[in-house]
Structure 1
């Protein structure tokens, strides 16, 4: 009898295997060898004021992307380790895989890498985030939710590759066939670089990604900068993003500031984004965050990345029942100038608004394991 084994069965098998490892994990940490299962499940109900001229109420992905992962390490001696991460994204609303793309089935679409970790140097290879993702900690998205990201127009230009398609890559673009090197040889400082091989016959540059970043984290002040250059597979143009950001913690108050710049060489279009935010921790269980962002394209209404200036404001309140589970309510408002359409970053895409303003209001629950 012929047997079949589809991707859903494989995912279930992986999950069961991970659960089976849990009893071993609790004892293996003692000798620094472990395999750990982890994840986030987040669901929300959202109201969008304008989707192609109509309001919409629906269950939407939560403010943190759902995921299931396995990570582990093996001690090699001399404070050195072999490490790995395999992370699957999924949609809790319907159970589908989250990082599928045209012609591609991804079981571990969020991350899949293996490497070596030394006392001041880490080298990994596989499907990984570029350095723009490190700027997340300096953005209000870190406490307002990923719906604070920029409009997802990058997919129309360079594709999404199963990633967030926000135009300045802040939401985390995964780079296939990549090698990443990070060092923390200087206390408080982290320097990182990445090369993603394009895989095009006869050339090393076409389809490639080059990324670099530097971060400093002190007791109160954090600063960072990042750069990513993606060259299209046909070698005709580049999509370049870079950013500088900072956060500062004063007791219960956290201040964030971020600047990003995006350029697309094929059309000479660019967009600059200026954002600032504040988060206040009223109690260990309750915080409130608020932020403002201004998006400025160079060619205004003809820009293929973003048309017209966009002003965006947001607020969020979060209550934690425990270290693992919390509930939240958030709202984001965006206005586009010059009669251009507003477009809050929403996954799955609910469409561009029919007018120059758009509002998203959502409430949800999230748990981690």
Structure 2
């Protein structure tokens, strides 16, 4: 009896001590079949990895340092299921890699390769940044709500929840003798109460993707290559019963843009120079949970663009729409179907921006219209 009592006491002491320190292995495998109706004038059928969620595996953990303070870390690797290659331009932990200190009272400070405040706060109010993924992104993911880039060399602060209000920010060093050459900074906030979520964020990057060692790496992370990238936006989600309705607005301004990571060089005709691009994105989205296992979601985005070149100004516009259904086979495995459509209208620019491109499509369309359909299997562990 004494031995049994002693064993129970030791177990009671040991279990809480072990619970203070943890390491978790996790991941997502998302693989599916895509059909695109027009890629350079031809249809394309292909297997593609990581659309509703990027395929990944990672390690995250914490160590209790006492006094409500703990050390935290996360290492997350992106990969392509089709061929096993690394994602994010071949980086080992291209999705996330950071270490930091977390306090229940004062918040969390982390150092490394991380998400910016647009992703942390605002993206959750969009369809692509919440439940739909890649195909439902705004044109060229111009506002980074679908994580086209992460930010290197980054110090991030995230506050604790204060009566439903949270805020935070990032600063990413250029790691260059020119202090501002390829640096980034962002701030964001959110307020959540009951079924209401409000969020807003701002980001600025100087000479994004201009250097390999800066805040935005031109090997695996490129939204726009230009002199300056500024994004500001706000969004709201409201959940009532089984339905969630959302609205998001973002404004992206790029000065002296040279190219897009999605469609390549943006070169005005006649030797003109492109001074700036501005995208105004207006998105409405909705999701309905028919049963615990099944939901259906839809999205519509109108994007008005200001194209300012030395030869003159133009105002092309983009209409994007998406529909998705997702069914859980178990707690960790689901199947989903998606369809996304884009139409380009308004003024012509004489550049690749005049033809449709659904983010995630194999390449640009030969016309102002493009449609992509996907059916996929996703497993989480």
Q: Within 5 Å, which residues of 2 pair with 1:104-143?
A: 105-120=90-105, 121-134=107-120, 135-141=122-128, 142-143=130-131
Q: Is the 8 A contact 1:301 1:308 kept in 2?
A: no
Q: Is the 8 A contact 1:116 1:124 kept in 2?
A: yes
| Structure 1 runs, 4 residues or longer, greater than 3 Å off | 27-30, 233-236, 300-303
Match of 1:193 in 2: 169
Deviation at 1:265, TM superposition (A): 2.3
Deviation at 1:237, TM superposition (A): 2.7
Match of 2:370 in 1: 358
Deviation at 1:289, TM superposition (A): 0.4
Deviation at 1:257, TM superposition (A): 0.8
- Are positions 1:226 and 2:232 aligned together? no
TM-score by length of structure 2 reads 0.80
1:228-260: per-residue Cα shift (whole Å, max 9, x none)? 100015998311111101111001000111001
> Structure 1 130/302 Cα, relative in aligned 2: closer, same or farther at 3 Å?
farther
Matches of 2:45 and 2:308 in 1, distance apart? 31
What root-mean-square deviation, in Å, do the aligned CA atoms of Structure 1 and Structure 2 show? 2.2
Matches of 2:295 and 2:55 in 1, distance apart? 22
Deviation at 1:127, TM superposition (A): 0.2
Q: Within 5 Å, which residues of 2 pair with 1:256-295?
A: 256-266=246-256, 267-295=275-303
Matches of 2:180 and 2:331 in 1, distance apart? 45
Deviation at 1:204, TM superposition (A): 2.5
> Structure 1 127/249 Cα, relative in aligned 2: closer, same or farther at 3 Å?
same
Deviation at 1:150, TM superposition (A): 2.5
Matches of 1:273 and 1:139 in 2, distance apart? 11
Specify every segment of 5 or more residues in structure 1 that has no aligned partner in the other structure, as ranges.
1-26, 153-165
- Are positions 1:314 and 2:290 aligned together? no
Q: Within 5 Å, which residues of 2 pair with 1:10-29?
A: none
Q: Within 5 Å, which residues of 2 pair with 1:144-293?
A: 144-152=132-140, 166-172=141-147, 173-184=149-160, 186-201=162-177, 203-232=178-207, 233=210, 237-266=227-256, 267-293=275-301
Specify every segment of 5 or more residues in structure 2 that has no aligned partner in the other structure, as ranges.
1-14, 215-225, 257-274, 349-353
Match of 2:63 among 64, 70, 74: 74
- Are positions 1:65 and 2:40 aligned together? no
TM-score by length of structure 1 reads 0.83
> Structure 1 117/319 Cα, relative in aligned 2: closer, same or farther at 3 Å?
same
Q: Is the 8 A contact 1:300 1:308 kept in 2?
A: no
Q: Give SS of 1:171's match.
A: coil
Deviation at 1:321, TM superposition (A): 1.1
Q: Is the 8 A contact 1:336 1:356 kept in 2?
A: yes
Q: Give SS of 2:139's match.
A: coil
1:289-311: per-residue Cα shift (whole Å, max 9, x none)? 011000110138999xx972110
Range with bigger deviation, 53-62 or 27-36: 27-36
